[in-house]
Amino acid sequence: MTDFHGGWLLPLVYVTGFMLACIRPNDYWKTARLTACTGLLVTVAMVLLALFWSRFAPLGVDALGLTVALLVALLGWVIINYSSRYLNGEPNQARFVRAMLFTLAAVAVLVVSHHLLVIVLSWTGTSLGLHYLLTFYHERKAAQVVAHKKFLVSRFAEVCLVIALLLVYQAAGTLSLGGLNEYLSKLDALPASLQWAALLFAFAAVLKTAQLPLHGWLIQVMEAPTPVSALLHAGVVNMGGFVLIRLADLISLAPVAQGVLVLVGSLTAVLAGLVMLTRISIKVRLAWSTCAQMGFMLMEIGLGLYELALLHLVAHSLYKAHAFLSAGETVRIARSNDFLSPESAPRAPVWYLAALGLSAVLVTASAAVWQLFLPSLGVPPVALLIVSLGLASLLWMEQYGARAMLLRGCVQILALTQLYLLWHALFAGLAPAPAEVGSPLVAWVMLSFAVLYGTQVWLRCYPGGRFARAFYPWAYCGFYLDETYTRLTFKIWPVKLSPTQAQTLAIRKTALQGDSL
């Protein structure tokens, strides 16, 4: 068998584009658009070639890497073309283009590499390139503070990664993913060194994906241009999940690492999901949504649902890129799901329990029918529960009559369930097979989502009650988790403001003092 390495053409295209943008600074947008278009065409050709050749020759195709490389190429093409219009007239556009191409090149190297050292180095390069994009408006104090917080989180994550690499090499004698997986296949139990390595990889992913309580930088990066937000939320932040999927054989043998991912991911998904519904700014709402979705993805990896996590990664990337690049249209849709929407009429709690039951029946029946015609399609019960909880809110709409609402909601639930099962079938084989996890982790996830659903129902039924009045300020402020972390970062490594920023800050303080007088 020979290996198919066509995926490496995408990093090569981006690296070439970055070098041309440095050599020819006057044609930066032309270079960026040509690079993005070439990268997308090359990656599509490589995917088609891999599909064609795999039918006639025993090729070792990296389906996971090519899939995510295609996603990166598509997002890069869309974001660069959008940026060329969005930043028209702005200063420092050449710097933006170079940082964007460098970041895309680092991400492309990460997704196609099978060597842990290269993965860690490219992940670090992605963070460094993103730092320049986040500080595009370098005169803004908030942009500098947020980039500073992210810089500290990323460096701490990279310390975890370096220690994990040393532990892996000490135990397995290799940093190649193929060599590591071959070594793991011969073990009956994971040695302590690799248990620690898996835990450190999990910690690094938690830090890189902005999980609570170290999430503040992801929420506050809105000082950067919208294309940067789209790149971060649709692409870069998802890489933590991708790296863990690459390490599925190791994570599946490390119960402690799985427990950390499930615990942190589920808590982040629940809390960030509640906070998201209280926010007014659409970009901040989308940022909290990303935080919650990253929690979902890490939780799925901790449960051993790697196919579901990969599906989640791709779907979230496409959705979030569209949402940020068309934020105006997203406002109207998001307002219909407000935490305490003024347009919603309270209903009895039994209505929402019946909605959940009906959603579960429709989702479970759909999965059963699919498995009759496609027996190899195995959807874990916990995944069906999550889908049922997520789709039950489609039966909450009040702008229609009762019968029309029920019929419309059922049709939507059935349609979305078929789409989910279709995607699940298409993604079968792209990610590692599901791993077994302990019953306590599954029970914890079910309890977490039951609490999330129950809290939403209670607040919707009693929007003016004592619990709602006490809970809403805490949720709106993100449960005050970020404030403690921000003060801690300033103590560990105080941010240094430029003279212009310091002068602006002094003027603001003087103005505030004058207002108080």
Higher-pLDDT residue of 405 and 451 is 451
pLDDT over 90 at 446, yes or no: no
pLDDT over 90 at 123, yes or no: yes
Any idea what the Cα angle at residue 18 is, between residues 13 and 20, rounded to 5°? Answer: 95
Calculate the average pLDDT of the chain: 81
pLDDT over 80 at 44, yes or no: yes
Instruction: Tell me what pLDDT residue 6 has.
Output: 59
Residue type, 291: C
Question: Which helix (H) or strand (E) segment is 61 a member of?
Answer: strand 59-61
226-271: pLDDT as tens digits: 888 888 887 788 899 999 999 999 999 999 999 999 999 999 988 8
33-43: pLDDT as tens digits: 999 999 999 99
Any idea what the Cα angle at residue 202 is, between residues 200 and 207, rounded to 5°? Answer: 95
Residue 110 tokens read as 């990460």
68-116: pLDDT as tens digits: 999 999 999 999 999 888 888 788 888 899 999 999 999 999 999 999 9
At 398, the pLDDT band (50, 70, 90 cuts) reads low
Cα(177)–Cα(198) distance, integer angstroms: 13
Higher-pLDDT residue of 361 and 479 is 361
Higher-pLDDT residue of 466 and 14 is 14
Which contacts of 465-474 are long-range, i.e. CB under 8 A and separated by 24 or more positions?
468/340, 472/278, 472/339, 472/340
358-389: pLDDT as tens digits: 888 998 998 889 888 888 777 788 888 888 88
pLDDT over 50 at 343, yes or no: no
Per-residue pLDDT, averaged over 131-151, amounts to 77
Instruction: Give the CA count within 13 Å in the CB-facing half-sphere of 463.
Output: 12
**268 and 213 Cβ atoms separated by less than 8 Å:** no
Reference 217, options 299, 156, 300, 266; nearest CA is 156
Quote the pTM value.
Answer: 0.85
Instruction: Tell me what pLDDT residue 514 has.
Output: 42
Residue type, 26: N
Instruction: Tell me what pLDDT residue 397 has.
Output: 63
Per-residue pLDDT, averaged over 290-316, amounts to 88
pLDDT over 80 at 179, yes or no: yes
Cα(113)–Cα(122) distance, integer angstroms: 9
Cα(33)–Cα(27) distance, integer angstroms: 10
Per-residue pLDDT, averaged over 194-211, amounts to 93
Q: Which residue has the tokens 């959940």?
A: 356
| Residue 510 bridge partners (DSSP) | none
Most confident range (mean pLDDT) of 50-64, 219-233, 454-468, 485-499 is 454-468
**111 and 123 Cβ atoms separated by less than 8 Å:** no
**101 and 17 Cβ atoms separated by less than 8 Å:** yes
Per-residue pLDDT, averaged over 386-405, amounts to 71
Higher-pLDDT residue of 4 and 471 is 471
pLDDT over 80 at 282, yes or no: no
pLDDT over 50 at 294, yes or no: yes
Among the residue ranges 81-90, 175-184, 474-483, the one predicted with the least confidence is 474-483
Per-residue pLDDT, averaged over 348-363, amounts to 84
Instruction: Tell me what pLDDT residue 225 has.
Output: 81
The distance of Cα 36 from the centroid of its chain, to the nearest Å, equals 22
Provide the percentage of residues in the chain whose pLDDT is more than 90. 29
Instruction: Tell me what pLDDT residue 338 has.
Output: 52
Higher-pLDDT residue of 325 and 45 is 45
Higher-pLDDT residue of 492 and 254 is 254
203-218: pLDDT as tens digits: 999 999 988 888 877 8
Instruction: Tell me what pLDDT residue 499 has.
Output: 56
Instruction: Tell me what pLDDT residue 513 has.
Output: 41
At 421, the pLDDT band (50, 70, 90 cuts) reads confident
Provide the percentage of residues in the chain whose pLDDT is more than 70. 85
Instruction: Tell me what pLDDT residue 15 has.
Output: 93
Instruction: Tell me what pLDDT residue 512 has.
Output: 36
At 432, the pLDDT band (50, 70, 90 cuts) reads confident
